[in-house]
A and B are shown apart, each in its own frame.
Chain A
Amino acid sequence: MSPRPGFVLDVDRSTPPTLFWHGEGFRLEKLPEGSRVVYPPEPHTAIPDPRHAIRQALHHPLGDALPLPEQLRPGMRLTIAFDDVSLPLPPMRRPDVRQLVIEEVLEMAATAGVDDVVLVAALALHRRMTDDELRHALGERVFDAFAPHGLLLQHDAEDPTGVVHLGVTDTGEDVEINKRAAESDLVVYVNINLVAMDGGHKSVATGLASYRSIRHHHNVATMRASRSFMDQHHSELHSSNWRMGRHIAKSGVKIFQIETTLNTDTFPNQFRFLQRREWEWSLKDRASYAAVSRATAAAPERMTRSIFHSIRSPHAMSSVQAGEVEAVHAATTRNVYAQQLVEVDGQTDILTLGLPYICPYNVDSIMNPILVACLGLGYFFNMYRGKPLVREGGVLIMSHPTPWSFHPVHHPSYVDFFEEVLAETTDPVEIEARFEKSYATDPWYVHLYRTSYAYHGVHPFYMWYWCAHALEHLGSVIVVGGNRSAVRRLGFKPASTMADALEMAEDVVGPSPTLTHLHSPPLAMADVR
């Protein structure tokens, strides 16, 4: 039986309450009659033999690329770059797709007699991965074969001897990427394409780049011109990355791109109710919902956090394609859209979202208020093609506890950003002009990024820029059930219940507003007509 497609539910009197993510917990909200709920398609079927599919893809590349074995020869320098800990979400059960792909690539390299092979985690300005995380992503065998010999590297964007400037694009953007990659005979990039934004030229042009290069597309102007950044053809973020990618190719760097997509089978059995439509909940689903929400309500914050962060997702590979970057990415994007896209008719006055406990930047970490903002206004708001789900001047209501919590190791510059920058202003343009440079070049943050496990000093700014399009578009942002002072610091309005939030929203959009809820999990993207 093939999976059911996504659809839009019209709420009527018989509709049961709708499930909202609420950080490390949930809320059931009775939405007003006439509201719409956007449900994504059900998870696609997994590829039965992923290793076989990977081999097939490597042997039959897309675009003008030669099959991988034909590109491998003794004496060559081979660099295998891979997506970091920010993907997939939540981290998947072993074996990770990256392990499967890399093992196949290494197999072929060994057969071809390649002995200069280095693995590089494409961190961009993210934190370094811990040994445990690397073991998880790559598998014990790969880790033990490479790490002890110093052949498993993590991209260091601040290592002056580790990056190389490849010139500028036609529009004057600096292209500066990892030196080992740039000087290799072949770069194999191993990607996981969880949402449509990922992959393509962005893999190398961002993942292996330095601040000098990344700042050309991670800025307010670019983000406001990306409508949305989930739609490559209307995204200035992608245009810039594509210019850089083509420049990299022109500079003689050969890239063999391997992209994978995952189905949206996101949560293990005990959380199965998360993926079901509420009126289809079985007795078992109801029971496990009750059990989980009681337990999370009773347990201390730290404990629920560690329980949720230990979830390993069952999502399975739904497609793999390899070869020339642009051809590969076109196929990948089609697959992602097929899994996530739902047609929606027209915009809405109020968009509601339930925000989960995890986003790309708090794996094994803490969802601080800045990340909450980014997840709602950056990621979920931009899950559209065509027009935003919510009309201009409309209201976004999101549900998340938004605790005033920070991870001191992973997010040191976030703590300071929250205390120093957001305390002064929430205007992205002003923030960019007044504060970005000092944070980006602060030697202490650079030191922590390079030697500890900290996101780069500039990273919280990017989170805020990610919100820039939504901040410009929306009339108001309301957070239900959040820490009031943290929510206010973000420039949003706190509400204790959904009913209060709806009342407050009416003050902005007028009486009898239309309301649409973007249901998650799993991930859904609205194709707004």
Chain B
Amino acid sequence: MIVESLAGKRVAVTGATGFLGTALVERLLRCVPDCTVVPVIRPSRRASAEQRARREIVRNDCFDRLRSEWGDRFDGQIDRRLDVIAGDVGVDGLALDAAGRAALAACDVVVHSAATVSFDAALDAAVEVNLLGPSRVASVLEETATEGAGSAGDPYLVSVSTAYVAGRRPGEAPERPLADTPFSIEVDWRAEVGAARRVRADADAASRSPEQLAKFMRAARRDLGAAGTHLLSERSEKMREEWVRNRLVEAGRARAQSLGWPDAYAYTKALGERALLDQHPDLALTIVRPSIIESALAEPAPGWIRGFRMAEPIIISYARGLLREFPGLPEGVIDVIPVDLVVAAVIAAAADRPQPGDPRILQVASGMRNPLSYGRLVDLAQEWFSANPLYDEKGQPIVVPEWSFPGRGRVTRQLQRSERALALVERVLTTLPVRGRQAQLSGTVEQKRSLAERALSYVTLYGAYTETEARFAVGELIAAYGRLDERDKAAFCFDPAVVDWDHYVTAIHLPSVVAHARVRTTPGGRSVASRAERAKRALLSPSRQLAAFDLENTLIAANVVDSYAWLATRRLPRDDQVRLALRMFRQAPGLLALDKRDRGDFLRHFYRRYDGAPAELVRADAWEMYAQLLALKSFPAGLRRVREHRALGHRTILITGALDFVVAPLRPLFDEIVSARLEERDGYFTGGLVDSPPTGEARALLLASYAQAEGLDLTESIAYADSASDLPLLEAVGFPVAVNPEAKLATIARKRGWHVEIWQKAPGGPRPLLPTAQTLFGRRSAETRVAARSAITGNAAHDSTGTDPSR
């Protein structure tokens, strides 16, 4: 009956790239041999509608069964029976061109399943798609029918909604238009549309106030440190957009809940039904209201699922032991329905057109006919994950927590508390001057916080669903099922009673979710090491071209202050050395603060101390400093890496704010050294710099111009650096590596999946307590002492090299 009634028909499908849409297109092609399917797809920036159809629908594993059944005929059949048109339900008139409009008009049935299904959608986006979408589709159908242009006769719309339009009130929700039910509240949907658009405009305006912009700037600086203007503005603009979105999400949830819906999704869907019925009372219309759609029971294959949907992230978080608690009533019903049952109901509805002006509503839900209790679901999941545990990164099985079904308020409060505490710890950690393994800790805390944040969002988003006490009536659905002949009942079963929940949960759904989640399901602790190995292999591939290195804390655990202190004290007796060291310790906090604000300013300020130092003497001493200070503080693994790159024929470049004579002993390691240079007059340093020191964005520019001059490809290049102020450099290359990252960079690297290296000083090596030189004066005569005294300390005058003015 179904097959015959749809034979030779054209069936349009919106939302065909979605979970339900894909299954629907596949089922129509496979089980209704003579129909043509017309997916209406929004072209994206990168792909046309046709390309998206190929990529996102036909290549999905949903089509595996069809591909093997059709064999060689597959491509031909798809070409013949799939007639893709470009359109967008978010725009009036669906943004169709003339051909598209004609192609849609020529359809006998239109199934509208496009929706913003995300439960935390921004209010305005949900309104445009979910609220206005169905009416827009209906308008186009009625217009083209009136125009009569190539129309297939009276249009028929099957609109997919959700059972949760009933809101949160307990009791039986009937299969009737909302206005006719006790579940209805009189809301003017037009006013809601206007208000949603206004909220967007207001939030946007508010985000642009000077105070707010300053806040974004501050937050960006807190995240990135002195990363340079470009990156900071990029980050703060992103934060602004995020802020506006969050305001809209919040506004959506608040408005929905104020009217008795769990979230903006159900609220906009409900108003969408109303708008549709208000504006198109005479259209032939079926509204299908599924409950929570989950993986397929049998068609096209048991367990088929697309995308990570509502329950899946919760299940996986639970299996990984992250979600210690989840609210809900153990005896309450969790209304889940396998996707293939919904698809069958939609196809049956498409084949059975109601009279125009007499809209039919079908609820596809299991709660009344074949209920699955929330407690049972949790028991099944616990049993199954105990037998089939996930494994942590060390390869140890994870024990799933036991849920005690507390109230939502308690879980929320608990999660909020831990989230706040973690956020505080994270903020403290990122401000501490730690790096390397300690800094990784802040990455871990950040990870924990984002997990807590996510757990909290699950609870706020989905908690309402586990607590819903509404029962969705399915009388119409069962009646429709009863009208089918035996063949259709077998081919297009949508009776929720067929589901054996124990079997469905343990044999179909959970295995499928785990298979899709990319989680560890086998023991053994190798994969982490092998990931680092793979990353290292990628860095040391012969096709890389250039490796750029930062110096301080990337190759050597010393900074410009250390090297100054060493050079300044080399020719001082021990007591003066200690005095100078103490003076520098006193100044350290101020210097550190300046360094944090702007590295270039800090260097300019600090290098002034070299004013009056005899250039040749300092240059000569710098060689000794390498052996006595820098080499002791060097990271052998880092120096080895430089040499590995050279051995592979990669160019190596050192970009550092350190002074040229300090890094001169490293010369043989690099093809090019870019460093700061002191101005020199008559053999003495003036304390000024020859040109501005290579810091922040300047490093990225220097690297880019070097690469261009040498004909090297930056996407084939590697950069090693340790701090967030090196972000421009790291972002400039194809292979960024965070070395002993400070907390901010550690967080960024973890988020972006950058390779992290922890390089340490030679194990067991000597660790000088003070960065002061071994004094030359241990056993020396008084006159050499006078001659060399105080070559470059503080305000040393030029005459200090000859005689000692203070003695």
- Mark A residues whose CB is within 8 Å of B: 132, 135, 140, 301-302, 366, 403-409, 412, 415-416, 419-420, 438, 442-444, 447, 451-453
Q: CA of A521 to CA of B579 in the docked complex: distance in angstroms? A: 44
Chain A proximity of B557: nearest CB distance (Å)? 11
Given A140-B779, A443-B668, A406:B631 Cβ within 8 A: no
A457 smallest CB distance to B (angstroms): 11
* Cross-chain contact B640 with A405 (CB below 8 angstroms): no
Which residues of B (626-640) have their CB < 8 Å from a CB of A?
626-628, 631-632, 634, 636-637, 639-640
Q: Which of A408, A420, A447 contacts B762 (CB under 8 A)?
A: A408
Expressed in whole angstroms, the Cα–Cα distance for A206 and B779 within the complex equals 33
Which 4 pairs of residues, A with B, have the shortest CB-CB distance? A405-B764, A408-B762, A415-B636, A409-B631
Assess whether A405 is in contact with B765, with CB atoms less than 8 Å apart.
Answer: yes
Give the distance in Å from the alpha carbon of A469 to the alpha carbon of B426 in the complex.
Answer: 58
CB distance from B689 to the nearest CB of A (A): 26
Chain A residues, CB < 8 A from B668 = 443-444, 447
Q: Which of B632, B634, B643, B778 has the most CB of A within 10 A?
A: B643
| Number of interface residues, chain B, beta carbon within 8 A | 26
Judge whether B623 is part of the interface by a CB distance below 8 angstroms: yes
Contact of A405 among B623, B665, B763 (CB under 8 A): B763
How many Cβ-Cβ contacts under 8 Å join chain A to chain B? 67
B766 close to A302 (CB less than 8 A) = yes
Secondary structure type dominating chain A contacts: helix
B669 close to A (CB within 8 Å): yes
Q: List 18 A-B contacts (CB under 8 A).
A: A132-B778, A302-B764, A302-B767, A366-B765, A366-B766, A405-B762, A406-B763, A406-B765, A408-B634, A409-B631, A412-B631, A415-B640, A419-B637, A442-B643, A444-B639, A444-B668, A451-B623, A452-B665
State the Cβ distance, A364 to closest chain B Cβ, in Å: 10
Report the minimum CB–CB distance from B128 to chain A (whole Å).
60
Using known A-B contacts A416-B636, A444-B643, A444-B668, determine if residue A453 contacts B762 with beta carbons closer than 8 Å.
no
Q: Which has the most chain B C-beta neighbours within 10 Å: A409, A419, A420?
A: A409
Residues of chain A contacted by B778 (CB below 8 angstroms): 132
On chain A, the residues within 8 Å of B636 by CB distance are: 406, 408, 412, 415-416, 419
Q: Give the residue name and chain of the A residue nearest to B623 (CB).
A: A451
Given the interface pairs A135-B779, A409-B632, the reply to whether A452 lies near B626 with Cβ below 8 Å is: yes
Q: Other CB < 8 Å A-B pairs besides A403-B763, A404-B764, A451-B626, 13 of them?
A: A366-B765, A404-B763, A406-B763, A408-B761, A409-B631, A412-B636, A415-B762, A416-B636, A419-B636, A444-B639, A447-B667, A452-B631, A453-B627
Residue of A nearest to B761 (CB): A408
Chain A contacts for B761, CB-based, 8 A: 408
Could you tell me if A407 and B626 are in contact, using CB atoms closer than 8 angstroms? no
- Give chain B interface residues in 99-131, CB to chain A under 8 Å: none
Please state if B643 and A407 are interface contacts (CB–CB under 8 Å). Answer: no
Instruction: Tell me how far the C-beta of B768 lies from the nearest C-beta in chain A, rounded to whole angstroms.
Output: 11
Task: Name the CB-closest residue of B to A148.
Answer: B784
Shortest CB–CB separation between residue B635 and chain A, in angstroms? Answer: 9
- Which residues of chain B have C-beta atoms less than 8 A from A412's C-beta? 631, 636, 639
Flag if B764 contacts A406 (CB, 8 Å): yes
- Provide the bound-state CA to CA distance between A366 and B628, in Å: 15
In the assembled complex, which residues on chain A have CB atoms less than 8 Å from the CB atom of B632?
408-409
Residue of B with least CB distance to A404: B763
B598-636 CB contact bits vs A (8 Å, 1 = yes)? 000000000000000000000000010011100110101
Q: A132 vs B766: C-alpha distance in the bound complex, in angstroms?
A: 17
Q: Which residues of A contact B634 (CB under 8 A)?
A: 408
- Which chain B residue lies CB-closest to A135? B779
- By a CB distance below 8 angstroms, the chain B residues around A444 are 639, 643, 668-669
Contacts of A447 in B (CB 8 A): 665, 667-668
**Looking at B637, B761, B764, which has the most chain A CB atoms within 10 Å of its CB?**
B764
* CB contact list, B722-767 vs A, under 8 A: 761-767
Contact with A along B135-168 (1 / 0, CB 8 A): 0000000000000000000000000000000000
Across-interface contacts of B779 in A (CB, < 8 A): 135, 140
Task: State whether B627 touches A409 (Cβ < 8 A).
Answer: yes
Complex interface bits, B667-701 against A, C-beta within 8 A gives 1, otherwise 0: 11100000000000000000000000000000000
Closest chain A residue, CB of each to CB of B667: A447
- Scoring A302, A438, A442, A451 by chain B CB atoms within 10 A of each residue's CB, the highest score goes to A451
Nearest opposing residue in chain B for A409, CB measure? B631
Within the complex, the shortest CB–CB distance from A481 to chain B, in Å, comes to 16
What is the CA–CA distance of A412 and B639 in the complex, to the nearest angstrom?
10
Contact at B764–A366, with CB atoms within 8 Å?
Answer: yes
Closest B residue to A403 by beta carbon equals B764
A454 to B607, CA, bound (A): 31
Residues of chain B lying within 8 A (CB to CB) of residue A438: 647
Contacts of A442 in B (CB 8 A): 643
CB pair A408–B643 under 8 Å, yes or no, is: no
Query: Closest A-chain residue to B629, C-beta based?
Result: A409
Instruction: Compute how far the CA of A523 lies from the CA of B583 in the bound complex, rounded to whole angstroms.
Output: 51
Chain A, residue nearest B778 (CB): A132
CB distance from A489 to the nearest CB of B (A): 13
**Chain A nearest CB: distance from B666 CB in Å?**
9
Chain A residues with CB below 8 A from B639, complex form: 412, 444
Complex alpha-carbon distance, A166 and B762, angstroms? 40
Q: Which residue of B lies closest to A452 (CB)?
A: B627
A420 CA to B634 CA, complexed, in Å: 18
Most B CB within 10 A of own CB, among A403, A404, A405, A444: A444
B647 closest partner in A (C-beta): A438
A408 near B631: Cβ-Cβ < 8 Å: yes
A152 vs B669: C-alpha distance in the bound complex, in angstroms? 30
**A407 and B766 contact, CB distance less than 8 A:** yes
Inter-chain contacts of A453 with B (CB < 8 A): 627
A412 to B627, CA, bound (A): 11
- Bound-complex Cα distance A405 to B765 (A): 6
A245 to chain B minimum Cβ distance, whole angstroms, is 33
- A407 lies within 8 A of B627 (CB): no
Q: What's the least CB distance linking A418 to chain B, in Å?
A: 10
Cα A404 to Cα B762 in complex, Å, equals 9
Q: Is the CB of B762 within 8 A of A407?
A: yes
List chain B residues, Cβ under 8 A from A419: 636-637, 640
Residues of A near B626 (CB, < 8 A) are 451-452
B781 — nearest CB in chain A belongs to which residue? A144
The answer for the CA separation of A447 and B667 in the assembled complex, in Å, is 9
**CB neighbours of B643 from chain A (8 A):** 442, 444
The minimal Cβ–Cβ distance linking B353 to chain A, given in whole angstroms, is 75
Q: For residue B765, which residue of chain A has the nearest CB?
A: A408
Query: Is there contact, CB below 8 Å, between A406 and B762?
Result: yes
A240: min CB distance to chain B, Å:
32
* A131 and chain B: residue at smallest CB distance: B776
Residues of B contacting A415 in the complex (Cβ-Cβ under 8 angstroms): 636, 640, 762
B-chain residues with CB within 8 Å of residue A132 when the two chains form the complex:
778
Give the Cβ gap from A217 to chain B, nearest Cβ, in Å: 28
Contacts of B669 in A (CB 8 A): 444
Least CB distance from B474 to A in Å reads 66
Asked, given contacts A442-B643, A443-B668, whether A301 binds B764 with beta carbons under 8 Å apart, the answer is yes
The minimal Cβ–Cβ distance linking B479 to chain A, given in whole angstroms, is: 74
In the complex the two chains form, what is the Cα distance from A103 to B767 in whole Å? Answer: 37
Contacting residues, chain A, for B765 (C-beta < 8 A): 366, 405-408
For the complex formed, measure the closest distance between the CB of A372 and the CB atoms of chain B, giving whole angstroms.
13
Residues of A within 8 A of B637 (CB): 419
